[in-house]
Amino acid sequence: MTDLIYKKESYEIMGACFEVYKEKGHGFVEPIYQECLEIELGLQDIPFQAQQALPLEYKGRPLTQKYIPDLICHGNIIVELKAVSALADEHRAQVLNYLKAPGYKLGLLVNFGHHPRLEYERLVL
């Protein structure tokens, strides 16, 4: 049996997500959850950067296009937020691509739009 990567850190992040869902419920748009989660992460002293651009390259050349995940927590965990009825493969692919760009290992895909509870997935590269 293998240990979960960044177990403690992801537990803290998900705790903040559950707190936001408990407080706001479902039905809001993604930017509302983004702002609430940024506040909650701050209240819980969880380090994060919001909307931090990830550089991309092609054959060793930098691209002008950038990936911009919703949050990067603890300096190396991508957190992508959704407010949809259910997570889909394109959401998973988006997070996996975000992980590939900087070589990060863990992404948390969190859906605040699901009812009756928060929907989330751990994606490991």
The reply to whether 48 falls in a domain is: yes
The reply to whether 32 falls in a domain is: yes
Domain that holds residue 11: 7-124
The reply to whether 33 falls in a domain is: yes
What pLDDT, in 10s, does the model give residues 43-63? 999 999 999 999 899 999 999
The reply to whether 1 falls in a domain is: no
The reply to whether 2 falls in a domain is: no
Q: What is the pTM of this model?
A: 0.93
Measured distance CA(6)–CA(81) in Å, rounded: 19
Q: What is the pLDDT of residue 30?
A: 96
Q: What is the pLDDT of residue 111?
A: 97
| Total count of domains within the chain | 1
Measured distance CA(102)–CA(105) in Å, rounded: 9
Which residues are registered as beta bridge partners of 32?
A: none
Measured distance CA(67)–CA(34) in Å, rounded: 17
Q: What is the CATH number of the domain that holds 46?
A: 3.90.320.10
The SS3 of residue 58 is strand
The reply to whether 116 falls in a domain is: yes
The reply to whether 102 falls in a domain is: yes
